[in-house]
Amino acid sequence: MRHGHTQDLTVDIGEGRSYPIRFVQDAKEVLAKLVTDQADSSGKLAVITDMNLQLAHPELFEQLLKEIPTFVVSPGEPSKSVQRLGELWDFLAQIQLDRQGKLVALGGGVIGDLAGFAAASFLRGVAYYQVPTSLLAMVDSSIGGKTGINISAGKNLVGAFYHPEEVLIDTRLLESLPATEFSAGMAEVVKYGLLGDLGLFQKLEDLDRLHPQHPELPSVIRRCCEIKAQVVRDDERETSSEGGRALLNLGHTFGHAIEKVAGYGVYLHGEAVSIGMIAAAELSHRKGWISMDDCDRIRILLERYDLPVSLQEKLLAEDLLNSMKRDKKVRSGIIRFVAMRNLGDSFTTSDVDEILIRNCLTSIGAV
C-alpha cells in the first residue's frame, strides 16, 4: 500500500543550525536528483552502503548509481572498525573527493555511523546525507549527528558529533528488511513512548502489529523522529546533568551490558534494549514509581513484536554489573540509569544501590 504524505520535520541544533528530516515517497527519485544536482556541480558524490543493500536493490546500483563511486562494506557491527574507516578514507582520496563532494550513507546504523564519521573527518569535514534503511536508523541513529566507530576497548568510543545535510526517510525501504531487524527497531519505537509520550505508547498498544506496509507506520516513525529531534535540540552533546539526551538510553544501560557480556552479535541491539527496558521497568517498579500493571503492559507490547523480555541464556549478574560500571555513560564511577516515573515520563537517576541492580538483573534471568 502506498502511504500518504508524511510532513517533514526540522532538527534544530541551535545557533541557527538546522537540517530537515524529509519523508519521501521514493528515496530512489530523491537519490536520482542528488546524482543530477551533483553532476551539475563541481564536487563528486560517493555512496557508502553494505552488501545486503546491494543485493536487495540491484536496480538502484546497476542503473541510478552505476556511475557513482560506491564503497561497500560487509553488513554488521564489525564494519565500524578503524581498518574499514581507513579504507574508506583511502577510497575517498582515490576518487579525489574534494570539499565540494558529498557522501550518501545508504544503510542502517552501522553505515550511518561509519559514513558520518568519514564525512566528519575526511578533509576535516564534507557534507553527507543520511538515507536510513532500517527502522532503528530511521527513528534513532540517523538523527542527531552521533557518528563513530568501535575500538577494542568498546563500542562507539571514537567518533564525532557531525550532523547530516538532510535525513531522507522512505519507509518502503523497510520492505526488504528481515523481520527480526524490523522487530529490533520496534524496541526503540516503544522506548520513545516510554521515555516521553504516553499517547504514543497507548497508540502502539491499540494498533495491531506494525509492519513495513502498515498505513500507520510513517506517522509512528515521524513521532519518534519528532521526539528525538526535540531531545537533540535541548541537549545536542549530552551534557545535561539531568535528563536530556541521556533519556534516549532508556533500557540501554542494561542493554549494552547484555550485548557485551553475551558477546556482540548474540542479540541484535534492539533485542538487548528490549530486555534492558524490562530491567529498567523492574527497577522503576521496585523504587515504587511504576506499578506491576505498567510493567506487564511494557512486556506485552514488546512480546507482540517477538522481542525477548528475559535473557535467552544464563549470564552472570556479576559480569553484567561490572560491564555496566565500565559503560562510557558512567560519570565519576556512578552508574546513571534512565527510570520511569510513569509510563511516558522518564528521568535519569544515580540513586540506585547495587542490591537493587542485582535484583533487577536476577529478574531478567541473570544468575
Spot the catalytic one: 146, 155, 223, 336.
146
Least Cβ distance, residue 353 to ligand GLY (angstroms): 26
Spot the catalytic one: 2, 5, 124, 314.
124
Pick the closer one to ligand GLY by CB: 174 or 248: 248
- What is the pairing mode between strands 9-12 and 70-73? unpaired
**Catalytic residue at 249?**
yes
Least Cβ distance, residue 145 to ligand GLY (angstroms): 8
Spot the catalytic one: 166, 181, 188, 236.
188
Least Cβ distance, residue 317 to ligand GLY (angstroms): 26
Pick the closer one to ligand GLY by CB: 20 or 244: 244
Name all contacts of 304-307 with Cβ < 8 Å and 24+ positions apart: 304/209, 305/183, 305/186, 305/187, 305/190, 305/209, 306/180, 306/183, 307/183, 307/184, 307/186, 307/187, 307/270, 307/271, 307/274
Spot the catalytic one: 245, 260, 285, 336.
245
Place of cell 536530556: 244
Spot the catalytic one: 84, 102, 155, 228.
228
The CA-based angle 89-95-98, given to 5 degrees, is 75
Residue nearest to ligand GLY (CB): 248
Cell output for 191: 522506548
- What is the pairing mode between strands 9-12 and 18-23? antiparallel
Pick the closer one to ligand GLY by CB: 174 or 195: 195
Burial class (CB in 10 A: 0-12, 13-18, 19+), 278: buried
- Given the rule CB under 6 A, which residues bind ligand GLY? 140, 144, 146, 245, 248
**Catalytic residue at 256?**
yes
User: In 133-289, where do the E strands start and end?
Assistant: 146-151, 154-161, 166-169
**Catalytic residue at 236?**
no
Supply the DSSP symbol for 62: I
Least Cβ distance, residue 227 to ligand GLY (angstroms): 11
Pick the closer one to ligand GLY by CB: 137 or 295: 137
Pick the closer one to ligand GLY by CB: 139 or 281: 139
Q: Are 13 and 146 in contact (CB under 8 A)?
A: no
Catalytic positions: 124, 146, 188, 228, 238, 245, 249, 252, 256, 269
